[in-house]
Structure 1
């Protein structure tokens, strides 16, 4: 086999893998049924909200979270904020016994989201140890929310349904994610029309991504028993967190993808994780390409760090064979994309060169090879462009004609993953693993106005 044949064979294998995985996630997603609900009153609820300079949003988030249940405990972890977040939280905690302020200070603070959540975990265990009443650890549920998170009213009922915490084998539940600003007509303050359109495009693409592609991956994982947890809208049993900490010291690790990592630890401890698509948490989408790439680079690098769990996954009896394969494929995606970054341009160049050297000239080769164009559309564009169609038919109920424009836009949007993969590998190679906070939109807007004034 010559190098050209090897190149084409490798590209064919990668293409088959991609199309197979796309089919495997889209079919169960469009066929899924609504999950039954349960009674949340039999459980004790604690919400962990890590904060770092969140003064613009934390008061409203705290109010919304307390309204979920009259007995909801809210643990606000102030990670050495400099904008007064700690003062706001401490003032509320002084008057409300269900609000707990976890104040972290430098140099121990700002070491990652996992470390902040572990601080609240230790505080919760100490608080429970001092009590003489309360439900057991298996009926104590910890919710992880972003500082701008807003959870749906039915989330607690969905979380305790018979397919979720109603089953004693379930250790964690992840709800769906939606973008709260997806219909904001002017997401950028004091910016021109073109900038506003660009921001609206980015926001809509993130909403499509989370509510279709990522959600479909989770629905498939329900069948492979390998649902991944997210950093927002994550529900866990306290007993599962305790078991996940055995041998580790803490439930959350130091990976930049601490949410997926804690899910792996919970599954390795023998629990199932499930996905509840009929409940959701809302969060802000990022209207800035720079901030989006920073966020996704951190996620990608965190996935690279979580690859160290693969030997434990494949040797664990807690994982199904399908679950181990799914986890391995997910953790291998950055490596596949890195290869694809070189492979696909190389295939294109090789085809052009072979056409130029073929008898009959380049024009004759182009006519004879016209079939490549529809093949490229069917295998390279349609798998991405089909998700907005699912979005308007099943999720957002938008006019059908929008799916066409959004389909092309979503195909182009997904190329940002190649940029993030390169950045993630670059950061890994030079030893950069610091956790970079994604600024809230209100905070970014305030900084922009300050810079312009």
Structure 2
């Protein structure tokens, strides 16, 4: 390796080294500055003066082999109330379950519950198609009832999801502004008594929350698979199949809304909880699917660049989000190459300029360990400050485990690259854990 090449790797490595803590400090500022309810100086005024409050709520629960959790999810959804006692109707899409899910659903007798059973070959074509089937049913029922599509809201709660008591009230408050076509609420983890669960709650409750606050300020809020709420009118503008077959159909739906000029808001005043994946193998599989879905959405880059509706600052953030899996892969290769070049140079007696001795290599390794540990510790403090529902010792342990969690994410990224290159799309669903039953909704 030439001296110029060595210095190139050194400069690139230290740039990467500094980029992460600097970006973390920026996100922490958003986490502390914003309370997850959007820009107070601009959007709140529009919300306060709006008159487009939803009148009808539908909660869609996509279910495929959810016998362990679907009863709790449905009962929790049926208990949700909006402003002035507005009640939500719940539609469960049983997407060809072959476990006891049909029997569990049949045992729930409630006038506001509708179970849609999909059989093969229509069933099991992905979550997006299940959501589209429910959407078309709701659109038909709303048209028959003469309901204005602007006043009908469809919420998505996954098979293991449970919304907070105020979720409909908060969504309704934000949607008083007629320009707001969709709302994403905060996602939290219920089973965070285990280490993997605590790390995932650190991720959702602090890091993702801060990212969404930043996106809210830039008008680039992304929709999640759990806890998304959309006006029926917004979905109707996207045709008969708003959700696609993309592996992260929620991300693609959000991109299509932004390209159509639809405002999406984020709030952490309300939340939906879900189960953590507490098995390493299954968690890697889940994150691989997310990374591959993100890569699939890269096809929207051209349209994002050419869209007059998207500001340049918003475009930069969207590009970062879409390109992050590719960037993570390249950064990993760069770091490994630097370490390998330094160690090889020392072994053969021709050390590279930026790592002239074994002591320098050791010092560099210590610096990297400190830098990779720092963000997690900072996020633990943010989680404690904003959420306040977990002890600091548990969050500190989760923070120390966070670098390993990131390594797992990098592994998932490389697996996703391989799957995308080979054209593999099939996925097994995420398994659920049995929970204590909730009381039947009134």
In the TM superposition, 1:30-429 aligns within 5 A as 30-33=32-35, 35=37, 42-69=54-81, 71-89=87-105, 92=108, 96-132=110-146, 134=147, 136-161=148-173, 164-183=174-193, 200-245=194-239, 249-355=240-346, 357=349, 365-367=357-359, 372-373=364-365, 375-429=367-421
> In structure 1, what is the equivalent of residue 440 of structure 2?
none
Relative distance call for 1:128 and 1:42 in structure 2 (3 A) is closer
1:437 aligned onto 2:437: no
- Alpha-carbon distance in 1 for matches of 2:175, 2:12: 44
- Runs of 4+ aligned residues of structure 1 deviating over 6 Å after TM superposition are 36-41, 361-364
Relative distance call for 1:111 and 1:266 in structure 2 (3 A) is same
* Number of residues of Structure 1 aligned to a counterpart in Structure 2: 417
- Alpha-carbon distance in 2 for matches of 1:177, 1:259: 14
> Could you say which structure has the greater relative contact order, defined with CA pairs below 8 angstroms and 6 or more residues apart?
2
CA-CA distance at 1:379 after TM superposition:
2.9
Relative distance call for 1:107 and 1:8 in structure 2 (3 A) is same
Any gaps of 5 or more consecutive residues in structure 2?
A: 38-43, 436-442
SS at structure 2 position matched to 1:160: helix
Select between 321-330 and 28-37 the one with higher mean Cα deviation.
28-37
Relative distance call for 1:236 and 1:429 in structure 2 (3 A) is same
Any gaps of 5 or more consecutive residues in structure 1?
A: 184-199, 444-453
SS at structure 2 position matched to 1:317: coil
SS at structure 2 position matched to 1:141: strand
**Kept after mapping to 1: 8 A contact 2:52/2:150:** no
- Alpha-carbon distance in 2 for matches of 1:438, 1:165: 32
TM-score, normalised with respect to structure 1: 0.85
Relative distance call for 1:150 and 1:362 in structure 2 (3 A) is closer
SS at structure 1 position matched to 2:176: coil
- Alpha-carbon distance in 2 for matches of 1:167, 1:253: 27
Relative distance call for 1:311 and 1:139 in structure 2 (3 A) is same
Residues 163-205 of structure 1: CA deviation (Å, up to 9, x unaligned): x21211111111111111123xxxxxxxxxxxxxxxx111111
Relative distance call for 1:40 and 1:4 in structure 2 (3 A) is same
- Alpha-carbon distance in 1 for matches of 2:104, 2:281: 30
- Alpha-carbon distance in 1 for matches of 2:303, 2:94: 34
